[in-house]
Structure 1
């Protein structure tokens, strides 16, 4: 029976059969090597041949009082000289009791050091420890290029009730490819990539790769500064990009030569990377992850990705990544039904199936799954020095009825639609990240009015749950309303003025990021400039005015690649940004270059003006000057720094020049000067500017004791600050 279980890969404790054990007459040494024609044991300088008992099993009884330290000489069945090796079954478990306890509790915050493939020295021997969580498996073997992809001779042992299987394999080094051969509850086998793999083959190949990091970071100064960083009251201007298509064909090392310089020149404080974790299908853009702990091999090795992050940090640029804990694909070599039963997904098929994306949802109520995801968030921040996680599809996690019709979902224990397991997971993840990684931020892509996304976890909201603990939330309402407004012809905007002002009703309900992301420039939604009405000049003018309005609005701003120079086509992951529109030989190169110059100036002035970010999350940092000029298509407001110094932003979303347009201003400031005007000729505008300081007059207006009269260019945004 034990022999059959061992040979069929269904044995939970192969170390009890294989290796050296005391027996009547001495010590029995038993070896399972299907690819050997002969096996010899070398102990105390003596060589003894093992008897071939069939099916790749060899054994011998040595007349010794206790198991010796020994090595094996393996004669390959294919021919050739014998090879000396250690026997994996003479080693004690290489995973400690504390690790197993923390895994069982779902509290192992450095899970990647306990599970997966780890190169190490164990009992004085160099090799790789393979560990995997497979709680429903009857047996687990490791197959790889080190055993000709036949795992028969390398079964793992079960480490008690933890669901963890382990084997230390001597001589296996970094670079070896492997998978786990899992015997499912029904006795069938499935070959699976390692859920904790730190490196993978390049898709479409999907084996895991043993990895040992030797990278030496050069961003110590950045990391020290980051630890004291208070994100809500600091400038944050984010350039979102898809690494694979920013400059198609470049790997991570090559990107490190170009991307930091480009982003720094434009003045962005951060980049946000669409999901860099491994994914099998390129056009998913990384949002269907199979290798949660591995940067995609399409860009190179994990060390190459670290080099890119390091280069960005040394250029003074923070790195955020899209993180996808909401779902995972059904590929039969990855996480789905991993060990023959629901493991990472919910056991209820109605809860497991994601209704929109053909994927599976994680079981947030299972402590091992929560641990897998919480540790994953920490892994990217600690091992890759990432400065923030933008968490994808939070709404789909929070609601049991997300995209489900009546009768397709079951209420929670209180009769509600909220998913308490997902709430608890997000709270735990955020708490762990903020506790362990000072200066890192988490950002929720959450498209509903869930109460308290950026509230502390110990503060109870209207929903009855504590806050989720995020640092920021994407302001999807602002994005939607403002884009709908700007898409209308200026003659119709007067009837929809609330769409451009309504965001200030809830602007301080959460800490917000204003996102013009990849989602807004794909799938028939058109590029940003082509969402605007009118001819080419008017579309660009609207585009520039909108960017000026966006940068002056409370909240941090995010702009997707290509929109910084008003490319006209939607984004394509196969082609990337239309860089050729900036080539001097292109007829409209100056138009596109002008918009890029404006973005550079927006970021420059923004970073130098504390009024635009220092009190971003405080209502006292903002005041309307004019919010009701619907007929004029004009909005104007003040922003204030911590010391009270102001900046005026006024946007004229009509297509006409407005001469002598009067705005109420604080009475103690005698004159104001333009610091930015999106209609300047250098940006491609018409050159309608207020070139001289504008003196305040003792003429009450807009409820203030003083006012100024401005010339407002058509389809333009102006920023003014006190004349020094």
Structure 2
């Protein structure tokens, strides 16, 4: 759309007849106001008595001419940027528009000569709410249409009186590019020849109340870097190198596979690194520590950095703070090539009220419910999605599919599921209405989650969906065809809360809280669980993991080592937030990230922090090599208590079994005393056990109390030495 700075030759040919070309006052007014539903019926070329009328809307143009077969004929100005004329032609020819401005001139295809660039099948699927690749139908799509390259702009705005494209090349004035309505589906469309990748744009909405305002594209696949808010035309040119990973990631169901997750906030893991810089460092770090997956806090575009990504405005765009969409693809690809799966936090529960984004998108509640009581999220100052609306549900379901298909994401951790499931979530009496059956369950949200899970699992084999759900809702990880929500895994918030409460107590008081460590096994097989020590547990005054523990510096680290050993051996998958793997003492800061300097050679306690990190590395290595720790996570026969009521000793002991019955014995001593010849009845035929991991080893910063020799079973019992504040793993002795 760039102008050529050149002189303007006189147009050739006779001036056109204009008597048959005038618009009615009503059409003219609506067109110029941006409130016309069908500008293509007014602009472009159309047969009229006496020939073909050509009409163009080009504000600020000095002149507009029609170019036919290399011959230019000037149109007559009607004022307000409208130019028209009738040429004595029998049919509409191939033609171009020659537009002259003060700064130069351009020759371009007329956007209003093209048929819709969106097909009937797309429109049908949008109406039905079943377009599983919605991003290919809505938004800005570079393409060749009727032999001409350009970009198709489409947007869903059913309540709008008119929609126009405003862009950087129009100086954010949408006057010259009104879009046409494609009927009852509420979609507006316009193909703009010559517009390509890198163009910044928004949609100018004319509401039914007479207001005009600019909105970012809800389907934008790339955005300007915040605080700028425009959408950017983009297309992917990335060539993936992870074919082997994608071919085999579905080989083993996730609940029967090792699954150890390192949670990361990308922008603060190593401040200053972009997607490609992170790709060079993060996969190698995660692989070295033995984690199977990395979980990314939300990467979808969000205006406020301090929200950590949980207030999303660009659901289809990776944040531009760290690079382009293809740069993000490069990062995911690098993880896969390193053997690391990528899970992404996904936030379909709510969205912020920024006036340039989804809120009141076409002048009316659209993505949010019309009832203010239902629309407002009482905790976060945001809007909730209207899960009962077909198109909104489609927007979100397709978004889940989008990240899996376009970015090869291996898992979606769904944020704030409880806030979606309950109508009375954080609401007092009178602030909510029961469902059709008189209950508090949000049936529409339940249906949405079931549809999302079923669709993702069908379209993206090997992908896992994970619910952050903090209540006792039944069947979160039960299949949808039996009435469940259909998630693959669920965060075990109860285990997290109880075990951290226990950890915080002085050892002398822990016997009164023994049940906080054993209660999780009462419900351990009600769902498929992840044990999360996430970002939420190390911010806002909750303290970092090592700072939650009591005692001096040695005791705090020992407590954490024992806790991690207990966590890695407990049924369920593991998740650990960045910085906790090396016992960072301070809470996480979104501005500064992990305190990497604690590991530097010059720091006096660097060895202490490295010791904890070495333990995490060894925990992951032993975990992955021991099927008993993960193969039967969701089956009761994979677990058996050995010591469940040793409250006075602060001791917990249990057996884990793999699918073939091979055991691992895990014993945790959360007391700061050494217990020699600790007697345990072991209901297993194993004749002798050998220590395979001990969190009190000196290389981890422990006191070095170990069991160096095999421990023999006599009369069904074993006697082992329990180090202070430590967890010991024992496996069958193999002479």
TM-score normalised according to structure 2 size: 0.96
What is the CA deviation profile of residues 443-465 of structure 1, one whole-angstrom value per residue up to 9, with x for unaligned ones?
00000000100001122xxxxxx
Q: In the alignment, what sits opposite 1:577?
A: 594
1:240 counterpart = 2:257? no
Q: In the alignment, what sits opposite 1:721?
A: 731
Q: In the alignment, what sits opposite 2:197?
A: 174
The offset of 1:44, in angstroms, is 2.7
* Secondary structure of residue in 2 paired with 1:502: helix
Report the more deviating stretch, 247-256 or 40-49: 40-49
What is the CA deviation profile of residues 88-124 of structure 1, one whole-angstrom value per residue up to 9, with x for unaligned ones?
0000000000000000000000000000000000000
Q: In the aligned structure 2, how far is the partner of 1:185 from the partner of 1:403? A: 34
Please say if residues 297 and 308 of structure 2, whose CA atoms lie closer than 8 Å, have aligned partners that are also in contact: yes
Q: In the aligned structure 1, how far is the partner of 2:106 from the partner of 2:677? A: 91
What is the CA deviation profile of residues 668-698 of structure 1, one whole-angstrom value per residue up to 9, with x for unaligned ones?
2211000000000000000000011111112
* Secondary structure of residue in 2 paired with 1:152: coil
Q: In the alignment, what sits opposite 2:83?
A: 58
* Secondary structure of residue in 2 paired with 1:350: helix
What is the CA deviation profile of residues 349-391 of structure 1, one whole-angstrom value per residue up to 9, with x for unaligned ones?
0000000000000000000000000000000000000000000
The alpha-carbon distance between structure 1 residues 513 and 176, as it changes in their structure 2 partners (threshold 3 A), is: same
Please say if residues 228 and 438 of structure 1, whose CA atoms lie closer than 8 Å, have aligned partners that are also in contact: no
Give me the CA root mean square deviation: 0.6
Q: In the aligned structure 2, how far is the partner of 1:35 from the partner of 1:92? A: 27
1:493 counterpart = 2:496? no
Q: In the alignment, what sits opposite 1:425?
A: 448
Q: In the aligned structure 2, how far is the partner of 1:101 from the partner of 1:408? A: 37
Q: In the aligned structure 2, how far is the partner of 1:590 from the partner of 1:467? A: 48
The residue correspondences of 1:688-707 to structure 2 (distance < 5 A) are 688-698=705-715, 706-707=716-717
Q: In the aligned structure 2, how far is the partner of 1:562 from the partner of 1:91? A: 56
Q: In the alignment, what sits opposite 1:437?
A: 460
Q: In the aligned structure 1, how far is the partner of 2:686 from the partner of 2:43? A: 86
* Secondary structure of residue in 2 paired with 1:48: strand
Q: In the alignment, what sits opposite 1:702?
A: none
Q: In the alignment, what sits opposite 2:218?
A: 195
One of 72, 84, 88 as aligned partner of 1:47? 72
Please say if residues 514 and 647 of structure 2, whose CA atoms lie closer than 8 Å, have aligned partners that are also in contact: yes
One of 117, 140, 159 as aligned partner of 2:140? 117
One of 33, 37, 57 as aligned partner of 1:12? 37
What is the CA deviation profile of residues 142-185 of structure 1, one whole-angstrom value per residue up to 9, with x for unaligned ones?
00012222110000000000100000000000000000000011
Q: In the alignment, what sits opposite 1:74?
A: 99
What is the CA deviation profile of residues 535-592 of structure 1, one whole-angstrom value per residue up to 9, with x for unaligned ones?
1110000000000000000000000000000000000000100000000110100000
One of 559, 565, 568 as aligned partner of 2:582? 565
Q: In the aligned structure 1, how far is the partner of 2:326 from the partner of 2:348? A: 24
* Secondary structure of residue in 2 paired with 1:36: coil
Q: In the alignment, what sits opposite 2:303?
A: 280
Q: In the aligned structure 2, how far is the partner of 1:134 from the partner of 1:86? A: 26
TM-score normalised according to structure 1 size: 0.98
1:660 counterpart = 2:684? no
Q: In the aligned structure 1, how far is the partner of 2:473 from the partner of 2:481? A: 16
The offset of 1:667, in angstroms, is 4.6
1:28 counterpart = 2:38? no
The offset of 1:503, in angstroms, is 0.1
Please say if residues 347 and 415 of structure 2, whose CA atoms lie closer than 8 Å, have aligned partners that are also in contact: yes
* Secondary structure of residue in 1 paired with 2:446: helix
Q: In the aligned structure 1, how far is the partner of 2:48 from the partner of 2:686? A: 96
* Secondary structure of residue in 1 paired with 2:100: strand
The residue correspondences of 1:259-338 to structure 2 (distance < 5 A) are 259-338=282-361
- Unaligned segments of structure 1, at least 5 residues: 460-465, 699-705
Q: In the alignment, what sits opposite 1:615?
A: 632
The residue correspondences of 1:519-538 to structure 2 (distance < 5 A) are 519-538=536-555
* Secondary structure of residue in 1 paired with 2:62: strand
Q: In the aligned structure 1, how far is the partner of 2:172 from the partner of 2:381? A: 31
Q: In the alignment, what sits opposite 1:552?
A: 569
* Secondary structure of residue in 1 paired with 2:191: strand
The offset of 1:187, in angstroms, is 1.1
Q: In the aligned structure 2, how far is the partner of 1:244 from the partner of 1:544? A: 28
Q: In the aligned structure 2, how far is the partner of 1:387 from the partner of 1:277? A: 16
The offset of 1:663, in angstroms, is 1.2
Q: In the aligned structure 1, how far is the partner of 2:295 from the partner of 2:524? A: 23
Q: In the alignment, what sits opposite 1:701?
A: none
* Secondary structure of residue in 2 paired with 1:709: strand
Q: In the alignment, what sits opposite 1:222?
A: 245
* Secondary structure of residue in 1 paired with 2:131: coil
Please say if residues 222 and 233 of structure 2, whose CA atoms lie closer than 8 Å, have aligned partners that are also in contact: yes
* Secondary structure of residue in 1 paired with 2:195: coil
Q: In the aligned structure 2, how far is the partner of 1:18 from the partner of 1:681? A: 80
What is the CA deviation profile of residues 54-85 of structure 1, one whole-angstrom value per residue up to 9, with x for unaligned ones?
00000111111111111011101x232x2110
Q: In the aligned structure 2, how far is the partner of 1:668 from the partner of 1:393? A: 45
1:347 counterpart = 2:370? yes
1:389 counterpart = 2:412? yes
1:126 counterpart = 2:149? yes
1:135 counterpart = 2:158? yes
Report the more deviating stretch, 656-665 or 272-281: 656-665
Q: In the aligned structure 2, how far is the partner of 1:667 from the partner of 1:677? A: 21
Please say if residues 146 and 172 of structure 1, whose CA atoms lie closer than 8 Å, have aligned partners that are also in contact: no
Q: In the aligned structure 1, how far is the partner of 2:421 from the partner of 2:93? A: 57
Q: In the aligned structure 2, how far is the partner of 1:386 from the partner of 1:51? A: 55
* Secondary structure of residue in 2 paired with 1:333: coil
Q: In the alignment, what sits opposite 2:651?
A: 634
What is the CA deviation profile of residues 382-405 of structure 1, one whole-angstrom value per residue up to 9, with x for unaligned ones?
000000000000000000000001
Q: In the alignment, what sits opposite 2:62?
A: 37
Please say if residues 675 and 722 of structure 2, whose CA atoms lie closer than 8 Å, have aligned partners that are also in contact: yes
1:675 counterpart = 2:692? yes
Count of residue correspondences: 709
Q: In the aligned structure 1, how far is the partner of 2:288 from the partner of 2:588? A: 22
1:591 counterpart = 2:608? yes
1:186 counterpart = 2:196? no
Q: In the aligned structure 1, how far is the partner of 2:244 from the partner of 2:283? A: 17
Please say if residues 642 and 683 of structure 2, whose CA atoms lie closer than 8 Å, have aligned partners that are also in contact: no
